[in-house]
Amino acid sequence: MDTSNRTYVKDAFHMKASSSSKDDEKKGEVELYGWVHDTRDLSKIRFIVLRDISGRIQVCGVKGETEEDIFELMKTIPRESVVRIKGHLKESKQAPGGKEVSPIEIEVIAKAEHPLPIDVSDHSKTELPKRLDYRFLDLHRERAQAIFKVQDTILQAYREFMNKEGAFEAIFPSIIGASSEGGTEVYPVKYFEKTALLSQSCQLYKQMLACSMEKVFAVFTVWRAEKHNTTRHLNESRQYDFEMAFADDKIVMDVLARCVQHIVKKVIEKNSKELEMYEIKLKVPGVKYLTFHEVASIMKKEKIHVGKDDLSPESERKLGELYPDTIVFVYDWPLSGKPFYIMPSDKKGPNGEQLSNGFDAIYMGMEISSGGQRIHIPELLIERFKAKKMKVENFKDYIDSFRYGAPMHAGWGMGVERITMLLLGLPNIREAVLFPRDRDRLTP
């Protein structure tokens, strides 16, 4: 297939349309490739709406003017078929965008089977689970594509920000020997004679690397065998990870705040069309710092339950309501609610509980990130493993990595799908993943 003369739809709208003179007609000739988004047959006029990744344009055949075989073909092509359409670009007051194409050649490259298994119209009436069963076709929808255009902006903005911060992008192993977050939500995998685990996070590795390369970041896939099916959890998700040497929780909270602000700014700049499609008005968020105890007191007044060392989803929602367009950092978190690697603080909570240098970041009513200062002192780390009833011998290399010149360090991990769903106001996190993995879904 020679596509060298291809014109993208968005470029066609910027081209000069042909008038009646022959010369101009040649100028206004376009060759478009894409999908049949819609068809309409008004007997004497037939329309095809052609869609490519850049937009949609109307193709209009007129009985008596359009060549007869092309006019006949126009009514036979099923929706979502792939076509090549060559034609003249015409000004048209009635056509969306003010231009349409009069076809002179139509080639059906790949005919779509009919009927389609799901509704692929803009506001699909098919429920999410069924759409996900046919995700490859669901991704023909501009509304679905919009999510991943925004996700692309988020990813580029994250990388851009980290580059400017002087951080190095790193690639870490996805098969690990021991649980990197503690807890039992792990997937064992047969690894020759041993049992390995799918990575819960790149936590231990990003720490080890920060202890030599100082500032590092990663885009990392994590697997969590959480049994519950919620609208905000996945069993396979992605994180933006950051780790920095010579830093404590305060320093990396500031990095996270600026990172999220940069991401939101870029989405506002680059994705106005997608934000409009989802009727979202985004503002670059401000920042608020609250201790865990302050949040607990606010929630007590609001009669919302807060655990002794964790926030409930209702309390996160409430923080979103109380502090709109704000990244709320909840710090001085009770040590018992944080993983083994979080540095204990010298502060105590109101009930004498030991606090930590760990934090969560809540944005738009949901946790987008957690992080903190890490333990870089081997003896203290061993103590924490024991307190959490974890096997010290499973973490020998990790502990040893802090024996030969390891600076204090801190970092965070931010959920890629969480930030995507929140910026677009999606009701279910699965919408923000191309091919979601949850308890009931392993395919497509």
Give the residue, chosen from 181, 302, 310, 325, that forms a contact with ligand AMO under the rule CB under 6 A: 181
182 binds ligand AMO (CB under 6 A): no
Question: Applying CB under 6 A, which part among 56-64, 126-134, 268-276, 413-421 lies near ligand AMO?
Answer: 413-421
312 classed as catalytic: no
Sort 141 into a burial class: Cβ within 10 Å, 0-12 / 13-18 / 19+: buried
What are phi and psi for residue 315, nearest 5 degrees?
-70, -35
207 binds ligand AMO (CB under 6 A): no
232 classed as catalytic: yes
Of the listed 232, 258, 317, 437, which one is catalytic? 232
338 binds ligand AMO (CB under 6 A): no
CA 275, CA 208: separation in Å to the nearest integer?
Answer: 39
- Output the six-digit token pair for 407: 């600076």
411 binds ligand AMO (CB under 6 A): yes
* CA proximity to 120, closest of 135, 109, 98: 135
Give the residue, chosen from 133, 226, 309, 310, that forms a contact with ligand AMO under the rule CB under 6 A: 226
Partners of 325 in the β-ladder: none
CA dihedral of residues 144, 200, 216, 208 (deg, nearest 10): -170
Residues in the chain, how many? 444
Minimum CB–partner distance for residue 88 and ligand AMO (Å): 50
Of the listed 46, 384, 418, 430, which one is catalytic? 418
233 classed as catalytic: yes
Minimum CB–partner distance for residue 203 and ligand AMO (Å): 4
420 binds ligand AMO (CB under 6 A): no
Give the residue, chosen from 52, 138, 417, 438, that forms a contact with ligand AMO under the rule CB under 6 A: 417
- Output the six-digit token pair for 123: 């506001």
Q: How many residues bind ligand AMO (CB under 6 A)?
A: 22
335 binds ligand AMO (CB under 6 A): no
441 binds ligand AMO (CB under 6 A): no
239 binds ligand AMO (CB under 6 A): yes
Of the listed 367, 384, 431, 441, which one is catalytic? 367
CA 297, CA 276: separation in Å to the nearest integer?
Answer: 38
> Considering only residues 269-308, where is the footprint of ligand AMO by CB under 6 A?
none
201 binds ligand AMO (CB under 6 A): yes
143 classed as catalytic: no
369 binds ligand AMO (CB under 6 A): yes
* CA proximity to 38, closest of 20, 19, 56, 62: 56
226 classed as catalytic: yes
Query: What secondary structure, in 3-state letters, does 6-54 show?
Result: ECCHHHHCCCCCCCCCHHHHHHCEEEEEEEEEEEEECCCEEEEEEEECC
Give the residue, chosen from 413, 421, 424, 432, that forms a contact with ligand AMO under the rule CB under 6 A: 413
12 binds ligand AMO (CB under 6 A): no
The DSSP element (H or E) to which 260 belongs, if any, is helix 249-270
Compute CA distances 34 → 53, 109, 114, 334, 384, whole Å: 8, 9, 18, 55, 58
Minimum CB–partner distance for residue 253 and ligand AMO (Å): 12
Minimum CB–partner distance for residue 358 and ligand AMO (Å): 7
99 binds ligand AMO (CB under 6 A): no
81 vs 370, which CB is nearer to ligand AMO?
370
297 classed as catalytic: no
365 binds ligand AMO (CB under 6 A): no
Exposure b/e, 107-135, CB count within 10 A at least 16 = b: eeeeebeeeeebbbeeebebeeeebbbbb
234 binds ligand AMO (CB under 6 A): yes
Query: What secondary structure, in 3-state letters, does 153-212 show?
Result: HHHHHHHHHHHHHCCEECCCCCEECCCCCCCCCCCEEEECCEEEEECCCCHHHHHHHHHH
Of the listed 37, 131, 135, 224, which one is catalytic? 224
The DSSP element (H or E) to which 355 belongs, if any, is strand 354-356
Count of alpha carbons within 13 Å of 215, Cβ hemisphere only? 12
Minimum CB–partner distance for residue 77 and ligand AMO (Å): 41
Residues belonging to the active site: 224, 226, 232-233, 367, 370, 418
Chain residues binding ligand AMO by CB under 6 A are 181, 201, 203, 224, 226, 233-234, 237, 239, 241, 367-371, 411-415, 417-418
